[in-house]
């Protein structure tokens, strides 16, 4: 009877506990439902306000304060006639630039005279004359050294180089009692030329003498001067031969002989020539040989004297400050160039190529017309329509997107950054950097990195969101330019191609390849559209080349931005995960040494989960990387895990079940701490936390139950209950995403398969 009564009381207690458990579950569900409904409203409210903020940011970045659109391509073929519906006039920057260019090219240049150089040469002449006079008074044996000293002094003090030959002939004809004075002749000639002004090249108005003409004038003057040089002068006290026959006998024998004969004739009482004997008289000599040598001698002296005189010829140099000031004065006096357009006037003619003036006139016309029709409301409606489509797309295709704030932040920031950069480039078109060159302004649409956001989103989020990002950025890029289907199709195709080739970026360098292919797509589209619209070959080549270069630049920009997104938004890309699969990672190297069994187990789980991920369409590289690190917490006490024990004693034999369970469970927390210390991505820490879910450590739980059962029997106490499950249950949470669930099952299967007596395909299938 007591046993039956105890059994009845036990059943009654079990029923009471079951009833209380049901009531608790019901209350939890009611609270969970109420909380879920409340959280749902809070979630929708947050989504609404974040979406509204994103839309407002888009409108401000893309449209607020934007200049009205215009034709942006110089040389573009006009598709249709454009007439002005009103009369207007404006100050033309194009005409002004043309007028300024003409003034700058036609205004005479201002030249500066080198007074210092001219004065230096005159001082050198004075010192040279003084030196030659001094040398004349010296004994013959010292004259040679005196000549050399004078040459050195002139070069040192006046920077004029003389040769001994030049000095010899200058000494002989340096001065005369009459007007035939070499130095005076050179001074007069140079003064005349300097007064007129000598320049390197002739000026436009022929105001100055060119250097070549001035040199020619010096040579002509020297020919006349040398021809009148006195060979024999009549002095009161007798004859004076300025050129002794012996001085030239070696080079000019016939001339020397002729002078000797004249000298002999005069010594014998012959008639003295009126005005003395000149070199020109010898040139006119009846003796042809003497006449020829006299002419050669004259030419030699002309060359020597001309070269000496040219050393004192100083060219005028362009005075750039004075020239600029003269040009600016002329520009300031210029009438403002006003372009007047009549009502009904043809602004752009169909089939003609757009000139710089056409571009300016059409832009001014658009400025006037857009004042009457503000484009901002239209663009706001475009934004709202795009957002409505995006919200529906996300709700139908990727509803989980709203639950991950990090993912939403990445997409939003990528789109805003991309459009902000493009707006900045478009605004450069109105600055001096681009505004002065219509060709560069025309290339602006191809300078926009349309594929940037879609490539980043593809790498960090995934293909579905990358497709929507490509669509949104293409729409807003076209709207910013007020362009049509051409700009949209070019941008969308380029963004999609860039995203497509970023779908498996395990090596970071592939982003550069993806950007290049995106640029190539834009270049092909530019060529096709340019040929179809009749644009010139030069324009088409420019647009295609710029599109390709911008694609390469976009790939490089994505490459540089990836670490910023990974660190800023705590997201792990395939490239980062692939780098973590390197067996030389410090944690993996440490596990190979400290917990080799766990390391082998992790490799097996990695292979299982990777293949499973491929089969179900999950991320295989994430599964492999997370599997390699999921049990790193076991390194803190590796001897307590069966795969590391081998033939050694089992330390659990000396522990009670509760303590053993706590040690086994602790490897999850230890793993999270190790992962955080070593900078592993959040997604890997999540897998470590979730890879056992909330499962029981069954071996020790059943061991504890058996122990409790034995205690009941030994103490004959029916009130002793079962062991507390929470002590033997992992803290969880359960797997929250596909890859985590795959690793959860792969880990369990691998551990269970290891416990089989014989591992065969049949036994594993039976186990599963």
Share of the chain above pLDDT 70, in %: 81
Tens digits of residue pLDDT in 469-482: 999 999 988 888 87
Residue 720 lies in a domain: no
Tell me the torsion sign for CA atoms 170, 175, 176, 179.
positive
Question: Taking the complete model, does pTM exceed 0.85, yes or no?
Answer: no
Tell me what pLDDT residue 602 has: 94
As for how many domains the chain has, the answer is: 3
Question: β-pairing, 88-91 with 338-341?
Answer: antiparallel
Tell me how many degrees the CA angle 88-91-92 measures, rounded to the nearest 5: 105
- Residue 729, classed as helix, strand or coil, is strand
Of the two residues 526 and 721, the one the predictor is more confident about is: 526
Which of 133-137, 248-252, 265-269, 538-542 is predicted with the least confidence, judged by mean pLDDT? 265-269
Is the same domain home to 636 and 665?
A: yes
Of 508, 536, 567, the last residue of a domain is 567
Tell me what pLDDT residue 216 has: 92
Distance between CA 10 and CA 287 in Å, rounded? 162
Using 50, 70 and 90 to split pLDDT, how confident is the model at 10?
Answer: very low
- CB-CB contact of 75 with 536 (8 Å): yes
Average pLDDT over residues 397-410: 83
- CB-CB contact of 601 with 746 (8 Å): no
- CB-CB contact of 194 with 208 (8 Å): no
Reported residue count of the chain is: 768
- What average pLDDT does the structure give for the chain? 81
Tens digits of residue pLDDT in 34-75: 444 445 445 566 666 777 777 787 777 776 665 544 444 556
CATH number of domain containing 761: 1.10.3210.10
Is the same domain home to 560 and 581?
A: no
Using 50, 70 and 90 to split pLDDT, how confident is the model at 177?
Answer: very low
Is the same domain home to 269 and 400?
A: no
Is the same domain home to 312 and 389?
A: no
Which of 424-428, 458-462, 717-721 is predicted with the least confidence, judged by mean pLDDT? 717-721
Average pLDDT over residues 156-170: 84
Is the same domain home to 636 and 541?
A: no
Average pLDDT over residues 587-602: 93
Residue 327 CB coordination number (10 Å): 19
Tens digits of residue pLDDT in 506-516: 777 788 999 99
Is the same domain home to 482 and 598?
A: no
Secondary structure element (H or E) that encloses residue 481, with its range: none
Using 50, 70 and 90 to split pLDDT, how confident is the model at 167?
Answer: confident
Q: Which residues of 485-509 are buried (b: 16+ CB within 10 A; e: fewer)?
A: ebbbebbbbbbbbbbbbbeebeebe
Average pLDDT over residues 433-458: 78
Distance between CA 108 and CA 203 in Å, rounded? 8
Is the same domain home to 254 and 159?
A: yes
Residue 476 lies in a domain: yes
Is the same domain home to 528 and 623?
A: no
672 lies in which domain range? 577-695+730-767
Provide Rg for the chain, Cα atoms.
51
Is the same domain home to 137 and 267?
A: yes
Of 548, 567, 586, the last residue of a domain is 567
Is the same domain home to 485 and 629?
A: no
Residue 54 lies in a domain: no
Residue 55 CB coordination number (10 Å): 16
Which of 64-73, 220-229, 585-594, 744-753 is predicted with the least confidence, judged by mean pLDDT? 64-73
Tell me what pLDDT residue 739 has: 93
Is the same domain home to 551 and 584?
A: no
CATH number of domain containing 413: 1.10.1760
Residue 205 DSSP class: T
Residue 160 CB coordination number (10 Å): 18
* Both structure tokens of 550: 């911008």
CA distances from 233 to 242, 295, 715 (A): 8, 20, 161
Residue 96 lies in a domain: no
Tens digits of residue pLDDT in 322-335: 888 888 888 888 88
Is the same domain home to 284 and 178?
A: yes
Nearest to 738 by CA among 574, 609, 632, 569: 609
Tens digits of residue pLDDT in 297-350: 888 888 888 888 989 898 888 878 888 888 888 888 888 888 888 877 888 887
Of 549, 567, 585, the last residue of a domain is 567
Is residue 452 scored above 60 in pLDDT?
Answer: yes
């Amino acid at each position: 009877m007591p046993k039956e009564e105890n059994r009845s009381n036990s059943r009654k207690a079990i029923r009471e506990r079951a009833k209380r458990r049901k009531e608790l579950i019901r209350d939890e569900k009611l609270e969970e439902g109420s909380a879920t409904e409340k959280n749902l409203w809070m979630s929708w409210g947050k989504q609404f306000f974040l979406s509204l903020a994103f839309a407002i940011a888009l409108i401000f970045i893309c449209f607020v304060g934007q200049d009205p659109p215009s034709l942006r391509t110089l040389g573009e073929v006009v598709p249709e006639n454009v007439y002005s519906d009103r009369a207007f006039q404006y100050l033309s920057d194009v005409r002004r630039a043309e007028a300024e260019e003409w003034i700058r090219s036609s205004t005479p240049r201002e030249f500066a005279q080198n007074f210092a150089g001219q004065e230096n040469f005159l001082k050198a002449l004075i010192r040279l004359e003084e030196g030659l006079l001094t040398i004349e008074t010296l004994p013959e044996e010292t004259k040679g050294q005196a000549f050399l000293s004078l040459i050195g002094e002139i070069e040192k003090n006046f920077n004029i180089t003389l040769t001994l030959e030049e000095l010899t002939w200058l000494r002989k004809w340096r001065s005369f009692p009459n007007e035939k004075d070499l130095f005076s002749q050179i001074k007069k000639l140079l003064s005349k030329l300097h007064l007129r002004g000598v320049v390197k090249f002739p000026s436009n108005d022929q105001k100055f003498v060119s250097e070549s003409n001035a040199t020619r004038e010096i040579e002509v003057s020297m020919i006349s001067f040398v021809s009148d040089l006195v060979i024999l002068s009549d002095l009161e006290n007798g004859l004076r031969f300025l050129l002794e026959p012996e001085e030239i006998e070696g080079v000019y024998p016939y001339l020397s002989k002729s002078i000797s004969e004249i000298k002999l004739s005069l010594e014998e009482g012959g008639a003295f020539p009126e005005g003395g004997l000149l070199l020109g008289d010898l040139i006119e000599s009846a003796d042809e040989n003497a006449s020829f040598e006299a002419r050669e001698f004259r030419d030699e002296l002309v060359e020597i004297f001309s070269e000496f005189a040219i050393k004192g010829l100083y060219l005028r140099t362009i005075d750039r400050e004075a020239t600029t000031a003269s040009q600016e004065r002329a520009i300031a006096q210029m009438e403002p160039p006003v372009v007047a357009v009549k009502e009904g006037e043809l602004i752009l003619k169909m089939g003609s190529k757009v000139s710089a003036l056409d571009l300016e006139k059409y832009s001014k016309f658009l400025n006037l017309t857009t004042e009457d029709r503000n484009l901002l409301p239209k663009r706001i409606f475009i934004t709202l329509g795009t957002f409505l489509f995006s919200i529906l797309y996300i709700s139908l295709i990727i509803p989980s997107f709203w639950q991950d704030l990090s993912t939403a932040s990445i997409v939003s920031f990528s789109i805003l950054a991309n459009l902000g950069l493009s707006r900045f480039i478009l605004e450069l078109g109105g600055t001096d950097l681009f505004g002065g060159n219509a060709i560069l302004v025309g290339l602006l649409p191809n300078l926009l990195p349309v594929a940037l956001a879609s490539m980043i989103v593809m790498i960090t989020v995934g293909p579905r969101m990358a497709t929507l990002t490509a669509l949104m950025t293409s729409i807003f890029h076209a709207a910013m330019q007020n362009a049509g289907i051409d700009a949209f199709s070019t941008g969308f195709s380029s963004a999609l191609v860039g995203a497509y080739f970023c779908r498996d970026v395990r090596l970071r360098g592939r982003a550069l390849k993806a950007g290049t292919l995106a640029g190539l797509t834009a270049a092909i589209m530019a060529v096709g559209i340019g040929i179809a619209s009749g644009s010139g070959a030069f324009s088409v080549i420019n647009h295609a080349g710029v599109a390709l270069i911008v694609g390469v630049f976009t790939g490089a920009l994505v490459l540089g931005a990836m670490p910023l997104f990974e660190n800023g938004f705590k997201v792990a890309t395939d490239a980062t995960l692939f780098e973590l699969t390197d067996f030389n990672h410090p944690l993996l190297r440490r596990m190979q040494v400290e917990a080799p069994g766990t390391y082998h187990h992790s490799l097996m789980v990695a292979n299982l989960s990777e293949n499973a991920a491929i089969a179900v369409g999950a991320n295989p590289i994430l599964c492999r990387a997370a599997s390699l690190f999921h049990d790193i917490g076991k390194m803190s006490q590796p001897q307590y895990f069966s795969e590391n024990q081998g033939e050694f004693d089992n330390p659990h034999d000396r522990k009670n079940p509760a303590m053993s369970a706590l040690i086994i469970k602790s490897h999850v927390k230890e793993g999270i701490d190790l992962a955080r210390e070593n900078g592993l991505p959040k997604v890997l820490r999540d897998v470590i936390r979730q890879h056992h879910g909330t499962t029981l450590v069954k071996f020790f739980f059943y061991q504890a139950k058996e122990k409790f059962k034995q205690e009941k029997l030994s103490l004959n106490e029916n009130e002793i209950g079962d062991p507390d499950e929470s002590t033997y249950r992992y803290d969880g949470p359960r797997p929250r995403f596909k890859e985590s669930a795959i690793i959860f099952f792969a880990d369990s299967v691998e551990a269970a398969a290891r416990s089989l007596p014989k591992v065969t395909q049949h036994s594993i299938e039976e186990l599963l």
